[in-house]
Amino acid sequence: MNLSEFFQGPHFGRVLLFRLNSKLIALPLLDLKEVLEDLTVTIVPGAHPLIEGIFQLRGKILPLIHLHQILQSGALTATQQSRVLVIQYEQEVCAFRIDQILGIEALEEENFPDYSDSGRFEFKGESGQLVDAGQVYALIQEQMNMQD
Amino acid sequence: MTMRERERELIFRLEGLDVQDLLLDVVLFTSFYKEIQAYLEEVRKENHQGFFIAREIYNLLEELAFAEDVQAEGPRQLQLKIDALLAFLNGVLQTSPSEFSSTEPSIAASLGDAEFRELVPVPGLLQDLQPFLLEFSSMSEYLQELDSSLSKGNLSRNQLQELYRGVHSLKGTSSFFEVLQDTIPPFCHELETFLANLLERGELANLEESQALSRSLRFLQAMFQNLQAALKGDRRRVELNLEQSLEQLRRLNAGSAFEVEKIMSSTRIVGGGQTAVRIPADQMDDLADRLQKILLSISRVYREQDLSRLLFREIELIEKRIRGVQDRILDLRLFSVAGLFERCERQVHELSSRLNKKVTLSFQGSDTRVDKQISDGVFLPLVHLINNAIDHGIEEEREREKVGKTIAGKLIIRAYYRSNRVVFEVEDDGRGLNESEIVRKAAEVGINVDFGSIPREHQLLRLITQPGFSTKSTLSQTSGRGVGMDVVSNQIRQLGGTLGMETREDEGTLFRIQLPLSFFTSECLVIEGARGKLCLLLSNVYSVLRVSQLEPSQNQQLQQGHLVHEGEDLKVASINNSVFQSDGGTEDTLLLLKDTYSNSFGLLVEKCSSKETLLIQPMGNSLLNQLTLTRSAGILSDGSLSCVLDIDELASLVDKSAEAQA
């Protein structure tokens, strides 16, 4: 995402930090809609392999996508710390599983050594990637079209 | 200092603050400015709504510090924001952690970390509105004041100016909240224009203007009351008539650009006539969802073995009543197609008089009720089909006379329900599709037409909906105003529907649009395969057979992907192979199904587990758009979600997989 936009309002650099396998990911807090402990997924016949299935959240049917496949982070291991993040991009809502939530942080400009739109950042000596909901949507749509 | 201590201190500070003193005393001003700055720095790292209010205070302070001439407006705004922050901070400190996490699942609740519990959850949830409402609670009082000044006839220019700024600020702030976006900002926008005109002219021109202003003031007040009630979990609402208020303002503002489309698309008008209430579709969905959950609880109670007869009867009664309420709610989402038909009628008149053709138009099923999305979405395809019928289908008067038809061409537009779909038909008594012409044209562009197994009309329809298959050379001898059928077909597909056609040369053509109903309850058969449960509408199932009880010859046929049943040779596929594309257990049950074209086929499943009445809803998500085999889902009595198979797609899947097997 555009970093200068990310640091100006309404984001102000605030993110949810989490782990996908060994990858450290930061999601702008405003793109996060909800965190779920667990859910029951329904298989959808004919759905794209990047879609694990559907689930319902307060009456709405939402897709659960394989973010770890989209970001190629390697498979997830279900543990007590596993969570499902529900994200929103414009009117679109979807969810994905993650391994562990690390917390809410405010990233500073110095966290981004190359300050590029790749979103690579350093946090407490570890390298991570900033991904916003729009990017998740763009990536999944690109990969779905590619494999079609 | 902990966050809480700092907040307590800030509350203390804010409570004792006098804005006038602040503006006169440079030392006081600077220290307060620094304090807000420090607070901002602090809450920046937290997921904290107080941040937004504090930032506005900070901006105002900056503005005031550099302003050459302090207007009365500035201090008042500052006081408002300070009150809002104060109220917010008090609210935060008084709210116990459990109260925060119980209303809606939030980050706080799911992180399970005490530190996060006092934080307000992510935007979009209801609690976020609290600071917004607090900020404008003083405006609500102010509105009352204005209203009484207005009725006494002594509304001052200053008051109007203040209202104008208030409305402007309300518009800006409310557009930040997704839940308010469709009601408050458009209304404020219109009111703002109205007030600006008023201020420019300097007086209320007539009684209507003063009524409109008074109504708008009350409307805003009622809106605040409703929001406050909603936050407290109170379901009672003051009746609002957004449409009427908007309408009046819009009329008075005539000439100003205003987009009402946005409101139209996301809210539904409920009821009709004078007492219409606009309810956001979300709220309706929520209500339907809550009822569904009550029904689920009831179905769990049913499973209890030692239920007394009395209790059982009572519960049965409760269930019946809840279903009644559920049906009413689903009803509320629906509009009669009469309005849509009226629009079509204008189209017919316009075109028939322009082409100088006499057309007798009749409508059937004007009382059919459909979702707003459907009635909006189907309009253009209908217009295309109507245009084609009048332009290309219905012949010139002389030609009609020659073949013994009435001089005026007949055009019938129909709407009706068919299982889980709503069907629209456009039928004319014109010359019908010219089959040989279409086939010739197809050959020209290199499409080989084989009328073998596929019904002739399907084949023709497939040809004329090909992109680039010009209607001009095939359907029309007149100037081709007809829009390509591929556009129609695409639009219908986007609505999740299908297009069908019947045509007879010299007798006429009928186009049939079938669209899924957005929400509906239907009896379903729950079937099981290797990867879970799926549903089929019961109306599509005409027989359930046990494979073990079939004759050996029939079993052999099943191996080859077909079955001769009551003299008919049906194609058969397995749910695991074709639907789930996986290996699975024994498929012992054979369902005989009929698609909407009344074609029969068979599906082997592992089990038929139950028959249930489901509330079925469309998946409606862009990531699921490419799905064809299932486009909707419902919640089973065990609480799980299950996909509902589309019968026509299933039929073509079975067709393909049976052929592959053979």
Task: Say which of A37, A43, A59 has its CB closest to residue B289.
Answer: A59
- Test the B interface: residue of A27, A37, A54 with most B CBs within 10 Å: A54
Coarse DSSP helix, strand, coil percentages of chain A, rounded to the nearest 5 percent: 20, 40, 40
ipTM tops the 0.85 cut:
yes
- pLDDT (mean) for B476-488: 54
For residue B177, name the pLDDT band (cuts at 50, 70, 90): low
For every residue of B153-189, DSSP letters joined together read T---HHHHHHHHHHHHHHHHHHTTSGGGTTTHHHHHH
Interface of B with A in 380-439 (CB under 8 A): none
Strands B409-418 and B359-364: parallel
Strands A60-65 and A92-98: parallel
Cα distance between residue B63 and residue B624, in whole Å:
49
Backbone angles phi, psi at A80, to 5 degrees: -65, -20
For residue A96, name the pLDDT band (cuts at 50, 70, 90): very high
B262 touches chain A (CB under 8 A): no
More confident residue, B121 or B73: B73
> What does each C-alpha distance from B445 to A112, B438, B456, B459 come to in angstroms?
57, 11, 19, 16
Q: Could you check whether the bond before residue A10 is cis, i.e. omega within 30 degrees of 0?
A: yes
pLDDT at B269 over 70: no
Residue B263 lies in a domain: no
Q: Residue B111 and residue A35: Cβ atoms within 8 Å? A: yes
Q: Examine the domain organization and report whether B340 and B455 are in the same domain.
A: yes
More confident residue, B273 or A63: A63
SS3 state at B364: strand
CATH code for the domain in which residue B444 is found: 3.30.565.10
* Per-residue pLDDT at B53: 79
* Per-residue pLDDT at B263: 31
B227 lies in which domain range?
123-257
Cα distance between residue B340 and residue B347, in whole Å:
11
* Per-residue pLDDT at B210: 76
The structure tokens 């109170």 sit at B234
Strands B568-574 and B562-565: antiparallel
Least confident segment among B295-299, B353-357, B482-486: B482-486
- Test the A interface: residue of B330, B635, B641 with most A CBs within 10 Å: B641
Q: Examine the domain organization and report whether B13 and B155 are in the same domain.
A: no
Domain end, chosen from B465, B490, B516, is at B516
Interior angle at CA B623, CA B620 and CA B627, nearest 5: 75
Nearest of B427, B425, B428, B407 to residue B416 by alpha carbon: B425
Q: Residue B116 and residue A104: Cβ atoms within 8 Å? A: yes
Question: For residue A14, which residues of chain B lie inside 8 Å, CB to CB?
Answer: 44-45, 47
Q: Which residue ranges make up each domain of chain A?
A: 3-147
SS3 state at B662: coil
pLDDT at A117 over 70: yes
Q: Examine the domain organization and report whether B483 and B549 are in the same domain.
A: no
Task: Say which of B44, B124, B286 has its CB closest to residue A59.
Answer: B286
Q: Residue A104 and residue B635: Cβ atoms within 8 Å? A: no
b/e B239-264 (16+ beta carbons within 10 angstroms → b): ebbbbebbebbeebbeeeeeeeeebe
For residue B352, name the pLDDT band (cuts at 50, 70, 90): confident
Q: Examine the domain organization and report whether B485 and B524 are in the same domain.
A: no
Q: Examine the domain organization and report whether B647 and B586 are in the same domain.
A: yes
> What does each C-alpha distance from B409 to B112, B357, B396, B507 come to in angstroms?
71, 8, 9, 11
Chain A residue closest to B617 (CA)? A61
- CB-based contact B507:B432 (threshold 8 Å): yes
pTM above 0.80, yes or no: no
* Per-residue pLDDT at B566: 87
- CB-based contact B531:B582 (threshold 8 Å): yes
SS3 state at B507: coil
Which secondary structure element, helix H or strand E, spans residue B42, and what is its range? helix B26-44
Question: For residue A56, which residues of chain B lie inside 8 Å, CB to CB?
Answer: 633, 635, 641
Number of domains, chain B:
5
Locate B576 and state its tokens: 């695991």
Residue B316 lies in a domain: yes
What length is written for chain A? 148
- pLDDT (mean) for B66-74: 65
pLDDT tens, residue by residue, B414-428 = 998 876 678 999 999
- Test the B interface: residue of A43, A65, A69 with most B CBs within 10 Å: A43
pLDDT tens, residue by residue, B592-636 = 999 877 889 999 999 898 888 887 887 877 788 777 788 889 888
Nearest of B120, B124, B94, B93 to residue B109 by alpha carbon: B120
A48 touches chain B (CB under 8 A): yes
Please identify, in words, the CATH class of the domain defined by A3-147.
Answer: mainly beta
Q: Examine the domain organization and report whether B322 and B397 are in the same domain.
A: no
Cα distance between residue A26 and residue A105, in whole Å:
9
A138 touches chain B (CB under 8 A): no
Backbone angles phi, psi at B9, to 5 degrees: -65, -40
pLDDT tens, residue by residue, B566-590 = 888 999 999 998 899 888 778 889 9
Positive or negative, the Cα torsion across B492, B495, B500, B505? negative
- CB-based contact B10:B43 (threshold 8 Å): no
Q: Residue A63 and residue B110: Cβ atoms within 8 Å? A: no
Domain end, chosen from B300, B333, B366, is at B333
What length is written for chain B? 662
Q: What is the CA B417 to chain-centroid distance, rounded? A: 20
Q: Examine the domain organization and report whether B347 and B487 are in the same domain.
A: yes
Residue B264 lies in a domain: no
Biggest alpha carbon–alpha carbon distance for chain A: 46
pLDDT at B268 over 50: no
* Per-residue pLDDT at A16: 93
